[in-house]
């Protein structure tokens, strides 16, 4: 009985004979390409490589090991698919998720590549069939889960044709990676059985420390390191204090009616509650977490990828295997565990290069919950415990510091932030110092975050720290906030705390600001949380004591005002990526919607995700350019020869105004999708 893909195996586990899934309607071999650029133009429809792609392809074809770090949407898959298309031999891709493998196989086969995937959801008959195809040399791109690799003798049996071993999501190999997966650390011994085969490790996010760990753990031999710039200029970042979670989430979702989005929550209970709240508001959504039936989860993922569902509310279990490029927003209803988590998860927005929005709702309580969840099964090893504390500090600082969000993210990965702004920034708010090199695409640079002047920030912080000191570190944040706001209760009156000088000292600031400032002081290390008898208590740190003596510095920002029900779209703080820099005219929008409907119908007929046919960016280019012939259509970036032949005539007729339903019916379901 085959082991499930999540079973941990040792390199010494006895291996079973290699089988693989069937390649249905296998396309004929692509014409042999020796020139990668020629293949790029003919198959992918691109006239030029994206940054670092050509270097990665050239290194692979020169049989040199490589480490490729490109941001989400940067074109990592082409780095290993193109060598397969050039006839260099069999490329084996180690990928951690079944859904991702299946979608990548579907996309590759639409391009004319002979691709297949091997995982636990394929039956023996299909495995036997593909085994024959592999022996005959009829597969050029094979996706495997790491568990399936160590269970079989696939590498040895395929060694004569092996041209490249590619490890996707390679950060999983690292203890310092944000998705540590022990199975990935078992790969190197199996790679050593085919020492002549070059290795390629690919990931979207890796600090220099994680990069070093990946190189060591996968046994990369003097690899060429290709590290792209991590910044995603098409994403608009916002970080807000969490006040009314359900309302704040709904506020973002309703800005994108009928469009795709992901909402992340920390616990299953929060996922269910938020999904129910959105559904009640008429949003097409579904929950996704590990407590749901596997069939339910598969259907949710399928419906989202196939654009039959607009929004998924999920724990971090969802999204890693999602290639849907037209996700227009990602909301973190709770603080993620690290910047690496946030970069990966928020990066699922705007993969098509079009504007998208990423919103983080922060509360200091989320960080304490992450600590508790990590220690649930016992104390963490010192190395992991230290890594966790560093991760929590960094993500907390990102959420509360009044510093350009794009700058913080890029500098976390040891990269300089580009000096040129992505867009003209809005006028800064009063008392907010001008940002250096404003990005024009985050709440800080758009003037939506007001920073207190340094003297006022220092005095405010000293007032809060003094209140914590006066309470002796024996009370929680709620009590301290009431004390500062002058809201006495029976406990406070009984103790005489309402007579203290700190009572009501920040009454004019309001509860939202005081709560946000406590979070900001926690993140900056002026305060800390001490748990006694399961009660989280606020305490002063040495850095907080020094600040009260005017030693050190602090930065505090004022949370934005609570939005009213009706949003004023003319104000800078209502700017969203949906306000496209080149908006479509009404007639163009009608054409674009018609093309999207045709794409959806064609995809459904072939059981494909719509983006596998064409990305939204391609449909927008069709709408704006209005090509009237196949050569004109072929000039649009992203349309290669195979797709031009299959879909070109149908989309030209849709551009001319024909009914998408009638056009979709002309595609014969019996014909192979790739032919």
Superfamily of domain 36-227: P-loop containing nucleotide triphosphate hydrolases (3.40.50.300)
- 3-state secondary structure (DSSP) of residue 327: strand
Q: Reply yes or no on whether the pLDDT at 154 is more than 90.
A: no
Q: Looking at residues 414-425, what average pLDDT do you find?
A: 59
Q: Residue 88: pLDDT band by 50, 70, 90 thresholds? A: confident
Distances (CA, A) of 70 to 170, 314, 391, 482: 12, 25, 21, 47
Least confident of 41-50, 172-181, 244-253, 631-640: 172-181
- 3-state secondary structure (DSSP) of residue 388: helix
Sign of the dihedral through C-alpha 504, 505, 508, 509? negative
- Which has the closest alpha carbon to 165: 200, 115, 189, 216? 200
The two tokens of residue 314 are 């999920």
Percent residues over pLDDT 70 in the chain: 85
- The answer to whether domain 454-558 has CATH 1.10.10.10 is yes
Residue located via tokens 């009404």: 586
Q: Looking at residues 421-426, what average pLDDT do you find?
A: 40
Neighbours of 329 (CB within 10 A): 26
Q: Residue 578: pLDDT band by 50, 70, 90 thresholds? A: very low
Q: Full-prediction pTM beyond 0.85?
A: no
Tell me the Ramachandran region of residue 75: left when phi exceeds 0, alpha when psi lies from -120 to 50, beta otherwise: left
Q: Looking at residues 300-326, what average pLDDT do you find?
A: 84
Superfamily of domain 586-665: HRDC domain (1.10.150.80)
Q: Looking at residues 419-430, what average pLDDT do you find?
A: 40
Residue 314: partners with Cβ closer than 8 Å, 6 or more residues away? 262, 263, 264, 265, 271, 287, 288, 289
59 or 564: which leads in pLDDT: 59
Neighbours of 193 (CB within 10 A): 11
pLDDT for the residue 524: 87
pLDDT for the residue 314: 92
- 3-state secondary structure (DSSP) of residue 239: strand
Domain ranges of the chain: 36-227, 235-447, 454-558, 586-665
Strands 199-203 and 162-167: parallel
Q: Residue 118: pLDDT band by 50, 70, 90 thresholds? A: confident
Q: Looking at residues 93-121, what average pLDDT do you find?
A: 85
Per-chain mean pLDDT for the chain:
83
End-to-end CA distance of the chain: 36
pLDDT for the residue 563: 57
The two tokens of residue 290 are 């590990």
Give me the phi and psi of 442, to 5 degrees please.
-150, 160
The two tokens of residue 397 are 């600082």
Determine the Cα–Cα distance for residues 167 and 214; give it in Å rounded to an integer: 10
Distances (CA, A) of 607 to 102, 171, 288, 385, 614: 12, 31, 22, 45, 15
pLDDT for the residue 321: 61
- Which has the closest alpha carbon to 657: 616, 584, 597, 585? 597
The two tokens of residue 235 are 């994403």
Q: Reply yes or no on whether the pLDDT at 383 is more than 70.
A: yes
Q: Reply yes or no on whether the pLDDT at 320 is more than 60.
A: no
514 or 150: which leads in pLDDT: 514
- Which has the closest alpha carbon to 2: 185, 126, 136? 126
Determine the Cα–Cα distance for residues 526 and 395; give it in Å rounded to an integer: 16
Q: What angle do CA 337, 339, 344 make, to 5 degrees?
A: 95
Q: Looking at residues 321-334, what average pLDDT do you find?
A: 89
Give me the phi and psi of 450, to 5 degrees please.
-100, 120
Q: Looking at residues 287-311, what average pLDDT do you find?
A: 91
Residue 80: partners with Cβ closer than 8 Å, 6 or more residues away? 60, 91, 93, 141, 164, 166, 200, 202
Determine the Cα–Cα distance for residues 553 and 457; give it in Å rounded to an integer: 9
- Which has the closest alpha carbon to 572: 410, 448, 669? 448
Q: Looking at residues 199-222, what average pLDDT do you find?
A: 92
Determine the Cα–Cα distance for residues 665 and 645; give it in Å rounded to an integer: 17
Determine the Cα–Cα distance for residues 114 and 141; give it in Å rounded to an integer: 6
Least confident of 172-176, 275-279, 585-589: 172-176
Q: Reply yes or no on whether the pLDDT at 151 is more than 80.
A: no
pLDDT for the residue 42: 93
Q: Reply yes or no on whether the pLDDT at 278 is more than 70.
A: yes
Determine the Cα–Cα distance for residues 260 and 285; give it in Å rounded to an integer: 10
**Do the domains 454-558 and 36-227 match in fold?**
no
For the chain, give the number of residues: 675
Burial of 533 (0-12, 13-18, 19+ CB in 10 A): exposed
pLDDT for the residue 543: 94
Q: Reply yes or no on whether the pLDDT at 206 is more than 60.
A: yes
pLDDT for the residue 668: 64
pLDDT tens per residue, range 516-559: 899 889 888 899 888 777 678 899 999 999 999 999 999 898 87
Least confident of 60-74, 369-383, 622-636: 369-383
Determine the Cα–Cα distance for residues 484 and 125; give it in Å rounded to an integer: 70
Q: Reply yes or no on whether the pLDDT at 155 is more than 90.
A: no
Determine the Cα–Cα distance for residues 329 and 178; give it in Å rounded to an integer: 22
Q: Are 252 and 274 in contact (CB under 8 A)?
A: no
pLDDT for the residue 19: 29
Determine the Cα–Cα distance for residues 250 and 239; give it in Å rounded to an integer: 15
631 or 584: which leads in pLDDT: 631
Q: Reply yes or no on whether the pLDDT at 431 is more than 80.
A: no
Residue located via tokens 């040891």: 414
Strands 535-540 and 527-532: antiparallel
Q: Reply yes or no on whether the pLDDT at 667 is more than 70.
A: yes
The two tokens of residue 226 are 């290709």
pLDDT for the residue 646: 93
Q: Reply yes or no on whether the pLDDT at 333 is more than 70.
A: yes
Q: Looking at residues 212-227, what average pLDDT do you find?
A: 94
Q: What is the 3-state secondary structure (H, E, C) of 372-434?
A: HHHCCCCCCCHHHHHHHHHHHHHHHHHHHCCCCHHHHHHHHCCCCCCCCCCCCCCCCCCCCCC
Fold of 235-447: Rossmann fold (3.40.50)
Residue located via tokens 């970069």: 343
272 or 156: which leads in pLDDT: 272
578 or 411: which leads in pLDDT: 411
297 or 654: which leads in pLDDT: 654
């Amino acid at each position: 009985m085959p082991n499930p893909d999540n079973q941990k195996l040792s390199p010494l586990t006895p291996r079973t004979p290699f089988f693989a899934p069937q390649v249905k309607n296998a396309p004929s071999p692509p014409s042999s390409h020796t020139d990668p650029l020629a293949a790029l133009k003919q198959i992918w429809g691109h006239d030029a490589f994206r940054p670092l792609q050509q270097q990665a392809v050239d290194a692979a074809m020169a049989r040199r090991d490589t480490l490729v770090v490109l941001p989400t949407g940067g074109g990592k898959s082409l780095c290993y698919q193109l060598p397969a298309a050039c006839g260099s031999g069999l490329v084996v891709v180690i990928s951690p998720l079944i859904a991702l493998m299946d979608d990548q196989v579907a996309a590759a086969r639409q391009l004319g590549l002979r691709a297949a995937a091997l995982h636990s959801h394929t039956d023996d008959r299909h495995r036997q069939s593909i085994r024959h195809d592999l022996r005959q040399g009829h597969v050029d791109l094979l996706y495997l889960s790491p568990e399936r690799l160590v269970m079989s003798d696939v590498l040895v049996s395929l060694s004569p044709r092996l041209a490249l071993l590619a490890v996707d999501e390679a950060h999983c190999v690292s203890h310092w990676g944000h998705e540590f997966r022990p199975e990935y650390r078992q790969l190197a011994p199996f790679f050593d059985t085919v020492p002549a085969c070059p290795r390629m490790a690919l990931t979207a996010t890796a600090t220099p420390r994680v990069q070093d760990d990946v190189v060591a753990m996968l046994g990369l031999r003097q690899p060429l390191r290709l590290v792209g710039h991590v910044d995603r200029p098409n994403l608009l970042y916002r970080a807000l204090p969490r006040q009314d979670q359900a309302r704040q989430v709904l506020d973002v979702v309703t800005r994108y009616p009928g469009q795709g989005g992901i909402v992340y929550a920390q616990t299953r209970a929060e996922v269910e509650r938020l999904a129910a709240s959105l559904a009640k508001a008429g949003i097409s959504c579904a929950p996704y977490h590990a407590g749901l039936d596997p069939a339910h989860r598969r259907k949710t993922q399928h419906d989202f990828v196939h654009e039959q569902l607009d929004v998924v509310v999920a724990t971090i279990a969802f999204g890693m295997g999602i290639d849907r490029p037209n996700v227009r927003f990602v909301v973190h209803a709770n603080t993620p565990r690290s910047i690496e988590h946030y970069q990966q998860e928020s990066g699922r927005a705007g993969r098509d290069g079009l504007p998208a929005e990423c919103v983080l709702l922060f509360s200091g309580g989320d960080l304490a919950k992450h600590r508790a969840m990590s220690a649930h099964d016992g104390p963490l090893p010192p190395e992991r415990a230290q890594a966790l504390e560093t991760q929590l500090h960094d993500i907390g600082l990102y959420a509360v510091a009044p510093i350009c969000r794009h700058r913080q993210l890029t500098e976390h990965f040891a990269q300089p932030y580009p000096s040129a702004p992505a867009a003209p920034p809005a006028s800064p708010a009063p008392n907010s110092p001008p940002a250096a090199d404003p990005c024009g695409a985050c709440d800080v640079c758009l003037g939506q975050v007001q920073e207190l002047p340094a003297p006022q920030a220092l005095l405010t912080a000293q007032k809060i720290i003094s209140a914590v000191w006066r309470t002796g570190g024996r009370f929680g944040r709620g009590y301290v906030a009431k004390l500062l706001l002058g809201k006495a209760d029976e406990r406070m009156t009984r103790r005489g705390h309402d007579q203290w000088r700190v009572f009501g000292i920040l009454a004019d600031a309001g509860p939202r600001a005081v709560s946000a400032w406590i979070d900001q002081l926690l993140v900056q290390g002026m305060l800390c949380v001490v748990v006694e008898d399961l009660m989280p208590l606020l305490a002063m740190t040495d850095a907080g004591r020094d600040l009260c003596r005017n030693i050190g510095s602090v930065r505090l920002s004022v949370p934005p005002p609570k939005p009213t029900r009706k949003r004023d779209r003319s104000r800078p703080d209502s700017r969203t990526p949906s306000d496209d820099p080149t908006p479509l005219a009404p007639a163009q929008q009608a054409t674009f919607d018609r093309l999207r409907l045709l794409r959806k119908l064609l995809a459904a007929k072939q059981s494909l995700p719509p983006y596998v046919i064409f990305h939204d960016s391609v449909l927008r280019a069709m709408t704006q350019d209005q090509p009237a012939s196949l050569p004109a259509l072929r000039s649009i970036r992203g349309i290669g020869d195979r797709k031009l032949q299959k879909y070109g005539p149908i989309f030209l007729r849709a551009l001319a105004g024909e009914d998408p339903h009638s056009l979709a019916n002309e595609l014969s379901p019996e014909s192979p999708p790739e032919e």
